[in-house]
A and B are shown apart, each in its own frame.
Chain A
Amino acid sequence: MPADQTEAAAEGHTATASRPDAGSRRGRRDAAALALKDVPHEPGAPKPDPILVADGIKRQFGGLTAVDVDHVELQRGAITALIGPNGAGKTTFFNLLTGFDQPNSGIWSFNGRSLSGVAAHRVARLGMVRTFQLTKALSKLTVIENMRLGATGQRGENVFRALFRSVWGAQEREITTRADDLLERFKLDAKRQDFAGSLSGGQRKLLEMARALMVGPEMVMLDEPMAGVNPALTQSLLGHVKDLREDGMTVLFVEHDMDMVRDISDWVIVMAQGKVIAEGPPDSVMGDQRVIDAYLGSHHDAVLTEEEEQEVLAKAEEALERERAENEETAQ
């Protein structure tokens, strides 16, 4: 059962002393579940404590409307999954929210502050940090330098102060300590001095996520963080994402693997052809007829839960049975 899996994964993962114990992790999850309990399962549903609110976001590429989201809210402190078939507009929506692309129309706010027209680097500084579907490791920087780069408010990033190590040296050491902790958590400590360009695809995903955390964000937006990561590592990555929630962060992530979505998300938003077509907790969303229709073909069986599969099977068998009976009737 999904719920049991979550707990098992949580207990298996919580090894470091600084992490909260399994009980409190469940506490955060339960808190998120409780907060979302009374939220209606429909597109654009208002949340009790939204960190991000978007309205009428529209982005067209020539004649193609890539994103056309009427209204969407994200609950603070929850893990929200954004799913949808290829080309649904998930990445484009990410780009719009984080200032990497400008919408044709629409307004959105983060922590009550409007982000329309705010430059990408300012969005990040406000606490909303994203990763990229096509990983962006900084190849000719070492892994540890990649990590250090993520830290904000660095005194040595000012060109005049940069000249004097005495001004930024101490801060650099603090940053390095923090970076090393994160590298250890993400099992990249052995690669510390390697060029990021020499990492494998999965390792780059890990590095990118760890680097985003160096910014100290309030909300992280992960575009397919598990793509290309091996199953064993996926489990620990899932653990990391849950840890983010424990640390009080809000997570929005895109993922195609429905088992993972079911495992870690408190809430699921489904996009298709640029629109939000369904919302709800994982299990209810995956049974939604609109969602099944949107996915029909490529991902049909992936969206069904076990019970629903049974149900569909039973219905099909019933129909077959009826047909056979009818045939027999006409034959008589």
Chain B
Amino acid sequence: MDWQRIIINALEASVGLQAVVFALAAIGLNVHFGYTGLLNFGQSGFLAVAAYGLAVTVATFDLPFWLGIVFGLLGAVVLALLLGIPTLRLRADYLAIVTIAAAEIIRLTVRSVTFEGTFGGSDGRQGFAGGFYDLNPYPKRQYNIGEFGFNERQMWILTVGWVLVALSCLIVFLLMRSPWGRVLKAIREDEDAVRSLGKNVYSYKMQSLIIGGVLGSLGGFVYALGQASIQPDIFGTDTTFFAYTILILGGAARVASPVVGAIVFWMLLSLTDNVLNEAIDAGYISSSVINNTQVGQFRFMLVGLLLMLLMIFRPQGIFGDRREIALDAR
């Protein structure tokens, strides 16, 4: 088995495109769920709106790249308003139902044959990332330390991606240490108590939904630009649940936890994937037990198992405070 290759792959996965995208998605969810207690099960919808906002503006309507970003961001804000206005006055579970449904509606709309001319059906859209790579300051070559490294396009998107992650974390940090963040955390604990103290709970929940949605939508941009193409099925419900997994893995309501969660999550997926494949190739695991094509699914089972163990032995996640979890039992 080629352990060097396995480790390099794992390292590349831990800083790679998926890690960035899911870190951003989970940072947004952290604002929703971790801090405000909003059950948003449609985070993939925010990523989709941003990605398609950009792709359609540029590829379909031939408008400039920056306008695509603007439309994508506007799309995320509008989606948050549409989701929030009818549900945020109601009990928490209504938001959960509406968000999961809305995300699916978005996915099915953009993949529908009816709108194929606009959204590209199940093939999605490509040819919209040129404007972004025109701005690439990295000269064309391979950027390597030993075997670990990326080409100039990957370097550019990863640089932008990680800067966005850092900025998002900074914003969340600044907001959550402020009185504004205190209101959100209080809403998570008990809405009525916050209301009785004269705070407009509805407005704060809406602000939280918008900010978390916009932060998540950055993940949609990064994904679209990194792949230089998008397909509707990337934005299915499993995207949302990966983001939840990452958030809980890191520990909800901690600024850095979505980032560390994303890094650990994608590193683990890469490790299990590579180790199993290598083991099968080397004959350590008989292909009658499991073959290479099954590994892709099987690694999620392993990750699921790992998460279960984590919840049992460290329910607060990597960064959480055990004392807080103990309070729930009172």
Q: A141 contacts B189, CB within 8 Å? A: yes
Q: B198 contacts A152, CB within 8 Å? A: yes
Q: B197 contacts A212, CB within 8 Å? A: yes
Query: Which chain A residues lie closer than 8 Å to B328 at the CB level?
Result: 139
CA gap between A152 and B323 in the complex, in Å: 30
Residues of chain B in range 180-221 having any CB-CB distance to chain A below 8 Å:
180-183, 185-186, 188-190, 192-201, 207, 211
Query: Which chain B residues lie closer than 8 Å to A198 at the CB level?
Result: 323, 327, 330
Q: B175 contacts A159, CB within 8 Å? A: yes
Query: Which chain B residues lie closer than 8 Å to A115 at the CB level?
Result: none
A262: CB under 8 A from chain B? Answer: no
**Which of B174, B199, B200 has the most chain A CB atoms inside 10 A of its CB?**
B199
Q: A159 contacts B198, CB within 8 Å? A: no
CA gap between A5 and B97 in the complex, in Å: 58
CA gap between A139 and B192 in the complex, in Å: 14
Q: A132 contacts B193, CB within 8 Å? A: yes
Query: Which chain B residues lie closer than 8 Å to A168 at the CB level?
Result: 178-179
Q: A159 contacts B211, CB within 8 Å? A: yes
Given contacts A121-B195, A121-B198, contact A154 B179 (CB under 8 A): yes
Query: Which chain A residues lie closer than 8 Å to B147 at the CB level?
Result: none
Q: B198 contacts A125, CB within 8 Å? A: yes
B-side interface mostly: helix
Given contacts A141-B185, A156-B179, contact A163 B174 (CB under 8 A): yes
0 or 1 for each of A97-122: is its CB under 8 Å from B? (1 = yes): 01010000000000000000001111
Query: Which chain A residues lie closer than 8 Å to B174 at the CB level?
Result: 162-165
User: Nearest-CB distance from B33 to chain A (Å)?
Assistant: 14
Q: B327 contacts A197, CB within 8 Å? A: yes
Query: Which chain B residues lie closer than 8 Å to A172 at the CB level?
Result: 179
Q: B196 contacts A162, CB within 8 Å? A: no
B63: CB under 8 A from chain A? Answer: no
Number of interface residues of B (CB under 8 A): 32
Residues of chain A in range 228-256 having any CB-CB distance to chain B below 8 Å:
none
A215: CB under 8 A from chain B? Answer: yes
User: Nearest-CB distance from B170 to chain A (Å)?
Assistant: 9
B2: CB under 8 A from chain A? Answer: no
0 or 1 for each of A187-208: is its CB under 8 Å from B? (1 = yes): 0000000010110000000001
CA gap between A145 and B186 in the complex, in Å: 9
Q: B193 contacts A138, CB within 8 Å? A: yes
Specify which of B171, B195, B330 is in contact with A124 (CB 8 Å cutoff): B195
Residues of chain B in range 156-188 having any CB-CB distance to chain A below 8 Å:
171, 174-175, 177-183, 185-186, 188
Specify which of B175, B200, B327 is in contact with A195 (CB 8 Å cutoff): B327
CA gap between A248 and B192 in the complex, in Å: 26
A129: CB under 8 A from chain B? Answer: yes
B324: CB under 8 A from chain A? Answer: yes
Q: A132 contacts B192, CB within 8 Å? A: yes
Q: B179 contacts A139, CB within 8 Å? A: no
A136: CB under 8 A from chain B? Answer: yes
A150: CB under 8 A from chain B? Answer: yes
Q: B198 contacts A124, CB within 8 Å? A: yes
User: Nearest-CB distance from B77 to chain A (Å)?
Assistant: 13
Q: A138 contacts B179, CB within 8 Å? A: no
Query: Which chain A residues lie closer than 8 Å to B207 at the CB level?
Result: 159
User: Nearest-CB distance from A120 to chain B (Å)?
Assistant: 4
CA gap between A156 and B328 in the complex, in Å: 29
CA gap between A156 and B190 in the complex, in Å: 20
Specify which of A124, A129, A157, A208 is in contact with B183 (CB 8 Å cutoff): A157
Query: Which chain A residues lie closer than 8 Å to B177 at the CB level?
Result: 165
Q: B180 contacts A212, CB within 8 Å? A: no
Q: B182 contacts A148, CB within 8 Å? A: yes
A16: CB under 8 A from chain B? Answer: no
Query: Which chain A residues lie closer than 8 Å to B175 at the CB level?
Result: 159, 162-163
CA gap between A205 and B189 in the complex, in Å: 16
Q: A162 contacts B180, CB within 8 Å? A: yes
Q: A149 contacts B178, CB within 8 Å? A: no
A130: CB under 8 A from chain B? Answer: yes
Q: B192 contacts A100, CB within 8 Å? A: yes
Q: B323 contacts A149, CB within 8 Å? A: no
Q: B186 contacts A156, CB within 8 Å? A: no
CA gap between A139 and B330 in the complex, in Å: 10
Q: B197 contacts A129, CB within 8 Å? A: yes
A211: CB under 8 A from chain B? Answer: yes
Given contacts A162-B181, A198-B327, contact A132 B196 (CB under 8 A): yes
A75: CB under 8 A from chain B? Answer: no
Specify which of B181, B196, B201 is in contact with A129 (CB 8 Å cutoff): B196
Find the B residue at minimum CB distance from A125.
B198
Q: A215 contacts B178, CB within 8 Å? A: no
Query: Which chain B residues lie closer than 8 Å to A197 at the CB level?
Result: 327, 330
CA gap between A54 and B17 in the complex, in Å: 62
Apart from A121-B201, A163-B178, A197-B327: 19 A-B pairs, beta carbons within 8 A = A120-B196, A121-B200, A122-B198, A124-B196, A132-B193, A136-B196, A138-B186, A138-B194, A139-B328, A145-B182, A149-B182, A152-B198, A154-B179, A159-B211, A162-B180, A195-B324, A195-B327, A197-B330, A212-B196
B residues in contact (CB < 8 Å) with A: 171, 174-175, 177-183, 185-186, 188-190, 192-201, 207, 211, 323-324, 327-328, 330
A residues in contact (CB < 8 Å) with B: 98, 100, 119-122, 124-125, 129-132, 136-141, 145-146, 148-150, 152, 154-159, 162-165, 168, 172, 195, 197-198, 208, 211-212, 214-215
A-B contact pairs, 21 of them (CB 8 A): A124-B195, A124-B198, A129-B198, A132-B192, A132-B196, A138-B189, A139-B330, A140-B185, A140-B188, A140-B324, A152-B197, A152-B198, A157-B179, A159-B207, A162-B174, A162-B178, A162-B179, A162-B180, A163-B178, A195-B323, A208-B193
